[in-house]
Structures are given as C-alpha cells and as structure tokens.
Amino acid sequence: MTNEQLERRRARRREYYAAHREEICAKQRERYRAMDKAVHAERIRRYRHRDMERTREKQRAYRAAHRERFREYNRRYYEKHRESRNASGRERYALTRPERLAKKREYYAAHREELLAKKHEYYLKNRLRICRDALERYVPDAVEKIAAQCPEAVAECAARWPYEDFEPGIRRCIARLGIRPGALEYDDCFEAGMLAWLYGVHRCALMGYEHVGAYVGRVTAILVRCAAAAALETEAILAEHGLKRWELDRDGLPERY
C-alpha cells in the first residue's frame, strides 16, 4: 500500500469517526458496562506489564509535548481540592508526629557529635552572612510586619518601655565586648542595640509579654554581637589569608604619613 492510499484510508476513517462519534462512544460505554471489570483490569494489567517501557516512553513524550496543558490541569486540581488536601495533610502530620519526633531524637542521640561539628563548621563558614542577614533582613522585616498587625499595642508598649531606659544597657553591652567609643565598629553596634530595642518592643507587644526588659536585654546581647562580627569582616578576611591590617591615619605615625 502506497503512502497516498494509506493517507486516503486515514482520511476516510477520520470522516467516519467525526460523523458517527456519539454512536461509537455510546457503544463503547455500553460494552464497557457489560464486561467483567476484573477480567478487563487483568487484561489491561498484562498489557501494561508487557509493554511498560513503550507505554512510559509514550507518556513522557506526550507530557513533554503538552507541558503547559498538564501544568494548567495541576493548578486547577490544586485550587479545587486545596482545603481537602490541607486538611488531610494536617491530619496525617498529627498522626505521624510522635513517630517522626522519636526517629529524630534517636538519630540525634546516635549522631550528636557529628551534627554539632557540622553545625559549628557551617556557622564558622557563614557567620558573617548570618549576622548580616539578621541585622539587615530578618529583624527589620519582622518589625515591619508586627507594626502592620498591631500598631496600637506597639505604641502602648513603646510608651511604657521607652528607648532612653535601655540606652545605658546598650552602652554597657558594647563595652563588655571591649569596643570603645571611636572604634570603627562602635556605631554599628550601637545601631544594632537600637534595633534590638525596637524588635523587643514589637515582639512583646505582639505576644503580650510582660518581661519586656529581660527580653530586650537578651535581644540586645545577640544583635550587638552580630553587629560586632559583621563589622569585623575585614579582620576576618585578613586572618583567613594570613595578612595584617595597616592604618595610615592611626595615632603615633609620623607627619609624613
């Protein structure tokens, strides 16, 4: 059979199917309802098992050719069943939570030293980025979100616990780190202390805490240390490469320098 004859036959089949589509579909549905479902499922299973690789290859090719269509199907299905999926997920999480916690504790007990060593190594490698992210991203974003959620509570808490009451504590915290006024990192640490007061007031207002002073003091100690570490990035780079720092404008140098 030539290609022209084959194409004419296919064209006739398409025309016949288009003209009798409803009748053909009705016969197929009637035949499927009348057949034994178990026998049909077994026949399909044998066919799929016999031609599994060929079938999967066809499926992968079809999905690759209609990627956007399948993505749209997935989005529609997710939007339609979002609540039921979330509910089943929460239920499954609640049922399996004790088992997962037990496995985590068991794994941590068996690999405690290794995990602590990896955590310490990761912190030493990324400590500057972690400190900068805390000061530049996490804390300011949290303050902004809390201020939008409960502005009245924040204003009341700030009035009860003003910044002036915490400024001496911020200076003492900086001094305990050996950082004196006039040092390069002093201003950064002081700004971190102001940010700590702001974050502490907002957080306590959101959660309804009464121990605002202790909370702000704790956050101040953390953020001031982060600021000191981030400000000493130059020293960290020099120490990593075995170099020394030299300042041309330091006290005691001759006038010609």
Predicted TM-score (pTM) of the model is 0.55
pLDDT band at 131 (very low <50, low <70, confident <90, very high): confident
- Using CA atoms, how far apart are residues 1 and 243, in angstroms rounded to an integer? 83
What pLDDT is stored for residue 247 in this prediction?
Answer: 56
- Using CA atoms, how far apart are residues 240 and 71, in angstroms rounded to an integer? 48
Q: Tens digits of per-residue pLDDT, 190-242?
A: 999 999 999 999 999 999 888 889 999 999 999 999 988 887 766 666 766 67
- Using CA atoms, how far apart are residues 53 and 50, in angstroms rounded to an integer? 8
Classify residue 180 by its DSSP letter: P
What pLDDT is stored for residue 254 in this prediction?
Answer: 47
What pLDDT is stored for residue 253 in this prediction?
Answer: 43
Out of 114-118, 128-132, 158-162, which region has the weakest mean confidence (pLDDT)? Answer: 128-132
If you average pLDDT over every residue of the chain, what do you get? 86
Q: Tens digits of per-residue pLDDT, 16-39?
A: 989 999 999 999 888 888 888 888
Q: Does the pLDDT value for residue 252 go beyond 70?
A: no
- Using CA atoms, how far apart are residues 15 and 29, in angstroms rounded to an integer? 21
* Structural domain boundaries in the chain: 3-78, 82-114, 119-241
